[in-house]
Structures are given as structure tokens and as C-alpha cells.
Amino acid sequence: MEKVRVKTRYSYDVLIGNDLTEETVSRISGNCKKTVLLWDEAVFSGYVAEIGNALEADGKEVMAISLEGGENAKTIESYSKIMKIMSDFNITRSDAVFGIGGGTVMDLAGFIASTYKRGVALVQLPTTLLAACDASVGGKNALNIGDEKNVVGTFYQPDLVVIDTRFLSALSDEVFSEGCAEIIKMGFLGDKDMIAELEKKSLLKNRGDEDYLVRIIKRCIEIKAAIVETDERDHGPRNILNLGHTLGHAIEAESNYKIHHGQAVAMGMVQMTRIAENKGIADIGTLGRLITLLAEHGLEWRCPYNINVLAGHVERDKKVRGGSLPIIVPEKFGSCVLMKLKIDDIKKWLTE
């Protein structure tokens, strides 16, 4: 088992390995008498039963609540229904909430744990590669209001994150590739050696190599933790994690969310690298390498939408302040810069 310590205001461990149920249960406080497992119904129920049984064997009461995954999990209605169940179950402040699923379940579990009686313990068990490398760590969580994503949220770091690779081996190649997009993003931001390694040995094509998978996930968590530790409350530097995301969100929205997050981020990174190379900011050749790397990880790089249409979405981005938007511009693998640009300049950059 590998471990990364995330040194935020309240530090916590991220465990990565195979079959970590016993280790997980051993780390739950003795004061915790009841646990609530919020699990995505798409997750193999046998895993959830295994965790529930182990908690019960340790003397804890278990309430398992299955959820429809995806954005539907993150509604106010689903939130208030679960709060009521927890209250009826007499969950106290020393008890714990477990999130078992992908990024949307991590978001819901985080928001519930942070607001139920002003905060209970939170254990995140990500079951997708994308959630393992990104959503489970960092402490930002949120609910949607209608069609608007992430309107209500808190900063609330988990007490423990457990990445059990048994979940990851059950993923389809398509869902695994979505996570590879965030992994490539992390390498682009902070580790040229990891990019070189992925170029030599595609993680998608070698997903059965457990040691390789664990090492790459660990490196991603280390990169993300280092960025989050400098800016836990998202005042600026943490924006760098949004490489490919501004255009990625525009692509997701334009597709009515038929193009999923990881795939959209991959297309967004390609567009930003194309612009950065044209402007002489990125090293020549970076775009070609990125396209090959994405293709080797099962990701489409061609954006199906006209860039003028995407520019319209960018103008309405939630991060626009005073007519400017922070944009992450690649320089080379392992190095990207954060630039605050006027919306008109961004539109010019995109379309020229």
C-alpha cells in the first residue's frame, strides 16, 4: 500500500492499494458508532456489502443509501432526503459519512459531511480513476441548482481517502480513459518525467500493471496535494488545476453533457496547447506530443464544435470577474502559467 499525506489545515492520508477494506476500518475512530455509506448504485454492491460488513464486525451500525450517480446525485432534493434519513438514524457529530462512487458522489458526500450538524467525519472511497486522481482530494464540494452546476458548496477536507484498485479494474476502457485525461493534465502541470513515462507506456494499455497504476495515481495525488496545500480556499494559485477546463466545460455544455468531463478536458487541453504554440508561448512540438499521448489513452482530441460557439460559453463562465478570466496556458510538459485575460482577448486568442 502507498500513502500520500495531504497537509491542509487538517491533514489527512490518501491510501492507494489493493484490498484496503481492513485498513480502512482500522482507521475509523472508536468514537464513531454509526456510519452512513452513500454509494453509487453503479458500483458493484458486493464491495459495498464488504465494507458494510467489516464496519459492523468492528461494532459500528451501518446505514447504506444507494444513489443514482452522475449530476442527479448532486441535487438539493437528494441532499435533503439524505439529511432526513441521517437525522432519523440519529447520526451524531462523532459518526462518519462514506462517499463510495465517482466525482459526483464525492461532491455530495463532502457537502453532506460538512453541513450535517456542522460537520461529521468524511471518508472518500473513489471508484473511478477520475475521482481517484482528482475529485476525492482537495476539499471542494458542491450541489447543483437546476441546470447550474456547483452553485452551493463548501470547503471541507476528508478525514481519509482510500483508493482501492479493485474498483478501478472493474471500469470500462472508456471510463478509465476519462481518468487518464486528468492524469495527463496533472503531468502537464507538474511532472514532465511522468508524461515521458506515459508516452513510453500507455496507462490505458497497461492498466493491468498494478504497480504502474498505483505509482501514477500516487504521483497525481502528490501533484494535486502540493497545489491544494498552497491555496486550500481557492483564492488564485489553485486555478492552475483548471488546465483545459474552461474550454472543457464549454464543450461539455455544448454537447448537453454527452461528452463527459475527462474527454472534454482532453479536447480543451488540445485547444489551449494549439493556441499557446501559435502564440509562441508553448514549445514547438508540444501539441503533436499531446495529441499522440491522448490517442494512446483512448481519448479523442478533435473538438466537434466551432470555436466561435465555444467562445460564447467562455464569456458566460462562472469564473469571469470584472470582464477577465483566469486561463491556464501551457508552456511545455511540466510547466503551465496562469494568465488573467480580458474576455475580448480570450475570444481573439480562440478564434485567430
CB of 296 to ligand GLY, least distance (A): 26
**Alpha helices, H only, the chain:** 21-26, 45-57, 76-88, 103-115, 129-130, 165-169, 173-190, 192-200, 210-230, 245-254, 261-278, 286-296, 307-315, 343-351
CB of 23 to ligand GLY, least distance (A): 22
Contacts 24+ apart (CB under 8 A), 308-311: 308/350, 308/351, 309/254, 310/247, 310/250, 310/251, 310/254, 310/271, 310/350, 311/346, 311/347, 311/350, 311/351
- In the range 10-69, which residues lie near ligand GLY by CB under 6 A? none
CA distance 301 to 183: 15
Q: Of 39-47, 138-146, 194-202, 321-329, which segment contacts ligand GLY by CB under 6 A? A: 138-146
Strand partners, 6: 12
- Told to check if 125 binds ligand GLY by CB under 6 A, we report no
Nearer to ligand GLY, 135 or 186 (CB): 135
**Are 173 and 122 a contacting pair, CB within 8 Å?**
no
CB of 152 to ligand GLY, least distance (A): 15
Nearer to ligand GLY, 135 or 180 (CB): 135
Nearer to ligand GLY, 124 or 286 (CB): 124
Nearer to ligand GLY, 141 or 246 (CB): 141
Nearer to ligand GLY, 135 or 290 (CB): 135
CB of 352 to ligand GLY, least distance (A): 32
- In the range 1-20, which residues lie near ligand GLY by CB under 6 A? none
Nearer to ligand GLY, 207 or 224 (CB): 224
- Told to check if 140 binds ligand GLY by CB under 6 A, we report yes
* Among 17, 99, 126, 138, interactor with ligand GLY by CB under 6 A: 138
DSSP-derived secondary structure letter, 132: I
Q: Of 48-56, 61-69, 136-144, 264-272, which segment contacts ligand GLY by CB under 6 A? A: 136-144
Closest by CA position to 166, among listed 202, 132, 206: 132
Closest by CA position to 305, among listed 237, 240, 255, 263: 255
Q: Of 137-145, 193-201, 202-210, 335-343, which segment contacts ligand GLY by CB under 6 A? A: 137-145
Nearer to ligand GLY, 199 or 231 (CB): 231
CA distance 38 to 109: 7
- Told to check if 135 binds ligand GLY by CB under 6 A, we report yes
Other beta carbons within 10 Å of 107: 25
CA distance 305 to 250: 10
Contacts 24+ apart (CB under 8 A), 204-211: 204/173, 204/176, 204/177, 204/180, 204/296, 204/297, 204/298, 205/296, 207/168, 207/169, 207/176, 208/169, 210/18, 210/165
CB of 247 to ligand GLY, least distance (A): 19
CB of 191 to ligand GLY, least distance (A): 18
CB of 184 to ligand GLY, least distance (A): 17
CB of 245 to ligand GLY, least distance (A): 11
Nearer to ligand GLY, 103 or 298 (CB): 103
CB of 141 to ligand GLY, least distance (A): 6
Burial class of 212 by CB neighbour count within 10 A (0 to 12, 13 to 18, 19+): middle
Number of residues that bind ligand GLY (CB under 6 A): 5
List residues binding ligand GLY (CB under 6 A).
135, 138-141
